[in-house]
Amino acid sequence: MNIIIKKNLFFEPVSKLSPISERRSTMPILSNILISFEKDRTAMFANDLDINAIVYVDYTVDEERKILINGRRFFEILKEMGQDDIELDIQENILKIKQKKTEYVLGLQNPDDFPEPTEVNENNEVVIDGGTLLEIIDKVGFAISDDETRYNLMGIYLEGKDNMINAVGTDGFRMAVLSREVEGIQDFKGIIIPEKTFNDLDRMLKESDKVRLSIGDTNIRFSTDRLSLISKLIEGTFPNFRNIIPENNPNIAVIGREIFLKSLKKVSAIIDRSEPVNISLYNNLMELNAESDIGSAKEVIEIDYKGLDMVMNFNIRFLFDMANHTDGEYIVMKSPDTHGAVLFVGRDDESYKNIIMPVRI
């Protein structure tokens, strides 16, 4: 069977699927990508047992055929080839890939050995924009835990409630919460979606996509007109994020976002990115102090502040993450009178919240 294709027609989907096939697995067969040439379209499959991904390509054949090919090698070959058309010569157990004077020969495995995609017994269905999902990944994903002993925090929590979709990420020391109105959304109970699922979606989705979420008891399917990704859900109970958000912190500071970021960068020159920075609030000023074995740094900026004189310590990386992901010109910092969670929001948009616990030293 001989096939002539445009290089980019296959390069883009293979580039999206090969990272899934490259993940370590006890099943070597999963290092492959299954390509199914069909009369109405071509489908490509990758599977790591936790995630099943299918990408559809507008390419048809008269004679249907499936091949199973090493995902990483196929991607590397396509990446090194030029932009001219590519010939695929499919034989019994080998695939010849030709372009002008270049030829590769790869061994093929039995496509019947590749696992079938998981079925989703859906209880709820939600349709949202790709842009909303990508925003969730960006604004919430950085806050999730990488501690395997807190498995229920190693993903993004999603729920549908009152025409809103709420997304939450937390590692137990800080939390990011994003709420977005979604037209026509039905309420659905909270689910926890693994980090690597969102990493794959971030690579595959476009802002213009309409994404259908089919939610089952133990898994979820994200689908568009050109892809389908099925992922296991994380089992366990997620913290009640509403009880964690401090609603009535009385000490309010309005801080210029850019000058705050510049000040953090200045004092971070003396410490590592996960060490504490000392912040004092007084007389419409914010004072940042950092200290390490090699010296100290101090920066003072003007702010609009109403509240008690305050002194707190924060993991400086948490402040960087919060400020880099908050939109707008100003950040509002709301602190309690005593030790407790501090709320950070954009002055013009409180639908995105960051909650950070000060560090006790």
How many whole angstroms separate alpha carbon 175 and alpha carbon 152?
Answer: 14
Q: 341-345 long-range CB contacts below 8 Å, 24 or more apart?
A: 341/244, 341/245, 341/246, 342/246, 342/249, 342/312, 342/314, 343/245, 343/246, 343/249
How many whole angstroms separate alpha carbon 112 and alpha carbon 130?
Answer: 33
- Which CATH number is 245-356's, of 3.30.360.10, 2.60.40.10, 3.10.150.10, 3.30.70.60? 3.10.150.10
pLDDT tens for the chain, 361 residues long, are 899 999 999 999 999 999 999 987 789 999 999 999 999 999 999 999 999 999 999 999 999 999 999 999 999 999 999 999 999 999 989 999 999 999 999 999 999 999 998 888 888 899 999 999 999 999 999 999 999 999 999 999 999 998 899 999 999 999 999 999 988 888 899 999 999 999 999 999 999 999 999 999 999 999 999 999 999 999 999 999 999 999 899 999 999 999 999 999 999 999 988 899 999 999 999 999 999 999 999 999 999 999 999 999 999 999 999 999 999 999 999 999 988 999 999 999 999 999 999 998 8
Q: Are strands 65-70 and 86-90 parallel, antiparallel or unpaired?
A: unpaired
pLDDT of residue 339: 87
Residue that is written with structure tokens 């069977």 in the block: 1
Answer whether CATH 3.10.150.10 is correct for domain 2-113.
yes
pLDDT of residue 310: 95
Written as one string, the DSSP assignment of 245-261 is: S-S---EEEEEEHHHHH
Q: What is the dihedral of CA 228, 232, 234, 240, to 10 degrees?
A: 40
- Which CATH number is 122-243's, of 3.10.150.10, 1.10.8.190, 3.40.50.300, 2.40.30.170? 3.10.150.10
Listed by start position, the domains of the chain span 2-113, 122-243, 245-356
pLDDT of residue 185: 86
Other CB atoms within 10 Å distance of the CB of residue 213: 22
Contact in structure between 321 and 143 (CB atoms under 8 Å): yes
The reply to whether 2-113 and 122-243 are identical in fold is: yes
